[in-house]
Every structure is written in structure tokens, then in C-alpha cells.
Structure 1
């Protein structure tokens, strides 16, 4: 009897413990506000932020700015040294000086003097020919004398015309050489200006990627420059959420450097191509009111507001069974139609009423 009594007590205690352990959690359907959102992560970017590149190869001779400096468009950032380019520019200057028309005035004066001489000789031989012709017509002189004077006049005319041609040809050559040399000098000067790297916009120098004495090329950036006060967010959105994202949607975000504070932004750009490695889309959002101090590349986590409903019947998401049923007080499955979902709650569109009690399914 004693054995049975003890065994019966053990069964009773065990049954009580088991009953307590199997007590099912429950909740009631509540009417409240619910917000559907999509998660995104990203970084802060300076507006007009860009990488500055050199347009020529060479060695950095001088750096004119420091990180954090504010610069204007056209401000010199670095100077590059290239001895070959310097010598080329010097040769272009020498060639331009040599080809200058004013520096060849003596050659033109010489040909001009020859023109004057041949003109005078032509005038004199023409006069002698006319005189000899008049004498011949008056029966004075010989035909040989007339032909000699005519030949002398023709030769003088040929020499005069040749002198003019030589003068004009030299002048054309000098003008062409001078213009060509001047163009080469301008090209060389423009190339020389490329050896001074300048800022493309007004902004702040955030990073200098090279040091004095380092070699630069056309493929590697030398600095990062961006707007000093205007910032935006570059966010990554999963491909499963991108169809819900639209321009103008509100973004609530947290910044690691401003823990516990929530800031607002608005989506103003959606890049239409997915990154195949991350399977995410890049979107951009502008602050409605940005923090007092920001720096490029600060980390951010955001929730993009998709839909908001002020009065909705909601239950915890973990009370759903197969996404379309709930358990009633009799542990029977009851079909429901769901609507908006957030990370903790789900809207019940139909199937339940406010105040109804449902059971939590056993995990």
C-alpha cells in the first residue's frame, strides 16, 4: 500500500509539473498603428564627392593643400614634375621664337630690295626698248639693236616677277612656320598646365592619397574631394524589397556616431541595376535635417517606410501558423487574411475581431 501511495504521489506531482510546462501562451487581437518598412544599410557620402586623378604621368613635386582644407573650383592641389615635358615645352618656345616673322625681317628686306632693284631695271630697260623702237621706226639703228633691247626688257620683267614670287613664297613660309610654332607652343603650354592638378569643384579635401615624391599615373586617384556641408545617404536594398521602393519615401535611420538618435531622409534616386555579388540595389536619400557634424563613409542603418496604417487589427507575427492561420482557444486552426507586416507584428485584414484571444503555436 505504501508503495502504491508513493507512486501515486509521484504521478500527481509529475502530472502537475507537466501541466504547468505545457501551459500555452495567449494574446488578444489589438487595434493599433502598424508600419511596413524595408531594411537598408549604407554610408554617408559628401554631395559631389569624387576621386581626383592626374591627367599625365610624373612625380609629385609639390602638394598645395592638406586634408580638411576647403578649396574652390580650379584651386591647385598638386604639381607634377616631368623633365621630358619640360624640355618639350622649352623646345616649342625656342621654335616659336625662331619662326616668328619679326625675327626673319632681314630675309624679307633682302628680297624686298631685290624687288625694288628688278623693278627699277625693268623700268629702265622698258624705256630703252621704247626709245630703240622709235628710232627703228624712224629708220635709225639696226634690227639687232631693237631685239637686244627687247630681250633685255623681257629678262628684266621675268626677274622682277620672280623676285615678287620669291618674296611672297618666303612670307607664306614664315607665316606658316610662325603659326605652326605658335600652335605647338600653345599645345605645350596646355600640356604643362596638366602638370598642375586642380580641383574640379568647390568643396573640402577629405583625403590625399599620394605623398610628395611619389609617382602618379592616369589610373590611380590622388585625392578625394567633396562638398563641405551637403551630405546624402547611399543605401543598399535587398533585391526582395526593391519592388516596394519608390522615390519620395521616408527613411528613418540611425548613425553609429549618433547612437540613440533617429534622423529622417527622403529617397531621391534609385539606381536601376543590381550588384550581382551583393544581390542588392543602390539607392540614394537626402537628409530632411542632417546632423550637425558629418563625415563621408559614416555607417548608417535605415528603415524605409513602405506603408503606414493608423488603425489596424494586429497580432504578434509568431502567433501565425503557416502565414495564414491562427490557433483559437480550442486549439483549432482558424484561417485569416493578413496585410501589413513589420518585424514584430502583422495586420489581420479578416478572420479575427478586436479583443479575440488566440494561442501561441508550440515551436
Structure 2
């Protein structure tokens, strides 16, 4: 029993010695930590231009593409173009068999020519005759007037009888009436019913020819836009059905990129934003674009990583005569934000607390100083930091943890320069 107690006392003594030793070591380590401080890596707050971008991929499509549709069902007589041809709006692409419409047009042309000739002859001959008749009537009237004036003087001198004077007066009246009639006939000719009727015949022939021409136009299929011919499906000798495409015309100088933007990024995208366009099919080339359309609704898109909610966005290609072709895939780099002279730090310098507050720590007189901050533009590697008590060239602690507190002693281990955004 005595030996057991002695052994127990020895064990308790050893334990006390160990506790005292560990405690002393801990106190010493704590004192050393306070004297030296926690080793931390730092970065310098820099003032620089910063940009935010969204990278995405999409498909090149034509902003203007039209199907070439015949207005009537008829046999394809001749296809005037081939795939790849450049055509202008209104250019003839396909000629359809028009049946007897060509004969009807020739017949109408001949009839119109005849009606016009009849009108010309009618107007010319009658007008000439009436002009001559008026001229003769006027001469006879002037002669009768002169004869009457002479007889009147002779009668007053007693050289002629009253009967002879009356005869001269009657002749004057008759020639005057003839003159008035000839004048009226010429005036009536200018608005005469015969000429008017013939003019109407000419107009009717013109309308008939226009109607046939309108029908013939339906048998000549023209390009609705300027562009490149694609998808030629029609074959000469086969039947073309009304409203079924024979071919397509694509405007390759009016292109856009159709892409999908994540629901988490779409709020950053706005109309008019600048876009850089690159792609494997045109390696080494970079084209300019601009955001021209943002869909009003989102949809679920299936990807290799699963489903995601996205919004369709269209980017207009500004450059013309590019190597882009409809159907190509392209990478788009959308510039969403830009700021000059922003205070910039690495992402790793920001610590987000459980309550959502964001803070950074600087080093002041060997101690960590906490700063409540807001973040602005975010680039790929850096972020704009907004705080009244932060300045260019201040040192910020990288990768701060929950254990780091305001006022903790720290010692800079290595100065890290920010990566350019």
C-alpha cells in the first residue's frame, strides 16, 4: 500500500512538471509571436485602368437572308445562277415556262401600235383639213367684206343700185357665217368625240398590255435582296411549286453572332457594348462587333455540365468583307465596363465575413488594420476596391483568414506586385 501511494505521488509530480514545461513553452511562443508578428504575404494597391469582360461563344448567322419563292406553279425553264454567285436585289434568278402569255404579249403590243397609229392619223388628217377650211373661209370672208365696203361707197355715189348693195351684203353675211363654222369645227376637233374615243382605245390597249406584263413578271423569279446564292434546290425541267423555295440568298456582308449569356452575367450586358470577335476558322483575325439585341426572356439551355438558364444575345459584326461565314462558330469578348485610374487589388486580398461585409487588411506600424470596402469593376485577375481610407501604394495582406483581427501584429514576408488585368 505504501509503495502504491509513493508511485502515485511520483506520477502526479511528473505530470505537474510536464504541464509547467508546456505552459512555459506556450507563454514563450506567444511572447515570440507578439515580438515578431504573423508572417503575411502582401500586394500593393495600384492605380490603373481596369476593364470587365464576358467571354462566350456563338454562331455566325446572316442578319439578312431570304428564300427565293415563285409566285406561281410552273415548270422551271432556266436557272440563271449557281450556288456562290453574287447577285443584286431585283436580279433575275429563274425563268419559268409562261405558256401562251408571251404570244398574248406580242399580240397586245401589235394592237397597241395599231391603235396609236389610228389616233395619229385621225388627229393629223382632220386637223390639217380643218386648218385649210378655216383659212379659206377667212379669206372669202375678208374678200366679201372688201366687196361690200366698195359697193357701199359706189351706192352712195349712185354708181350701183340698192339691189346690188343688198347682194353684196348678203354675200358678206354668208361668208362670215362660213368663217365662224370653220373656226368652230377646228375647235371641236381638238376636243372632238372621235379623237377622244380613239384615245380611249389606245389607253385600253395599254392597260391590256400592262396586265399581261404583270402576269409575265410572275414567271421571272428575281432576287429579293443583294447577297450570295445558296441552297439551290430547283432543277431545270422540274415543276416549281408556288411559295416553295427554289433557292436562298444570304447577305454575307450583314452578319451577327448569336450567343447565350448566363443569367448571372446578363445584368452586365447592355446594347451598344463593344465586342471583339475571334475564332478557330479565322485564326489570327480579330473583328469588331457591338451588342445589338438582348432577348426579353430567358430559357433553359442544355450543356455538357447540365442545364443552365441563359438569355439570347445578338452581336452585330461591324467590319465588312471579313472571313466570317454563316455557320462558323466564334468567340466573343464583350467589354461590359471600363474605368480609368481605379484603385486595384488582387482578388486574394479581399475577405468576406459571414455577414457579407467585405474587408481588406493593410499593415500600419507592424499591425494589421481592417478596412471595410466595396468592390467595383472586376477583371480576370484583379478587382476595383472602393474605400475612403485606402490609397495607392498601400500594402494589403493576401489571403486573410478569419483568425486575422484588426490590430494583430504582422510581418511582411514578401511583396507581390498585382497582375495586370
Match of 1:285?
317
TM-superposed CA distance for 1:236, in Å, is 4.5
1:19 maps to what in 2?
none
**CA RMSD of the aligned region, Å?**
5.7
Give the drift of 1:140.
1.4
Q: Assess, with a 3 A threshold, how the Cα gap between structure 1 residues 154 and 286 changes in structure 2: closer, same or farther.
A: closer
2:152 counterpart of 1:163: no
CA distance change for structure 1 residues 141 and 287 in 2, over 3 Å: closer, same or farther?
closer
Distance 1:166 1:53, change over 3 A: farther
Q: Which has the higher mean CA deviation after the structures are superposed, 143-152 or 122-131?
A: 122-131
Partner residue in 2 for 1:68: 84
Q: Find 2:161's aligned residue among 137, 140, 151.
A: 140
Aligned residues: 314
Q: How far 1:151 sits from its partner (Å)?
A: 2.8
- Which of 215, 226, 235 matches 2:242? 215
- Calculate the TM-score normalised by the size of structure 1: 0.57
Deviations 1:293-343, CA, capped at 9 Å, x for gaps: x422434353424458997423499x99676569xxxxxxx9875555578
Residue 356 (structure 1) aligns with: 399
Contact 2:56 2:259 in 1 (8 A): yes
- Aligned equivalents of 2:321, 2:138: Cα separation in 1: 87
Match of 1:21 in 2: none
Q: Which residue of 1 aligns with 2:134?
A: 115
Correspondences of 1:3-18 after superposition (within 5 Å): none
Shift of 1:277: 4.2
Q: Specify which of 43, 53, 66 is matched with residue 51 of structure 1.
A: 66
TM-score, with normalisation over the residues of structure 2?
0.51
1:99 aligns with 2:99: no
- Structure 2: unaligned runs, 5 residues or longer: 1-40, 45-49, 299-310, 360-370, 403-421
Q: Note if 1:298 corresponds to 2:328.
A: yes
* C-alpha contact 1:108 1:167 (8 A) present in aligned 2: yes
Tell me whether 1:233 sits opposite 2:256 in the alignment: yes
Q: 2:130 & 2:81 partners in 1: Cα distance?
A: 57
Secondary structure in 2 aligned to 1:94?
helix
Match of 1:266 in 2: 288
Unaligned 5+ segments in structure 1 are 1-27, 327-333
Higher Rg: 2
Distance across 2 between alignment mates of 1:132 and 1:315: 134
Structure 1: distance between partners of 2:355 and 2:79: 65
Distance 1:222 1:320, change over 3 A: farther
- The residue that corresponds to 2:34 in the other structure is none
Within 5 Å, give how 1:75-94 maps onto structure 2.
Answer: 75-79=91-95, 91=108, 94=111
Cα distance in 2 for partners of 1:312, 1:221 equals: 60
Separation in 2, partners of 1:145, 1:169: 37
Classify the secondary structure of the residue corresponding to 1:163: helix
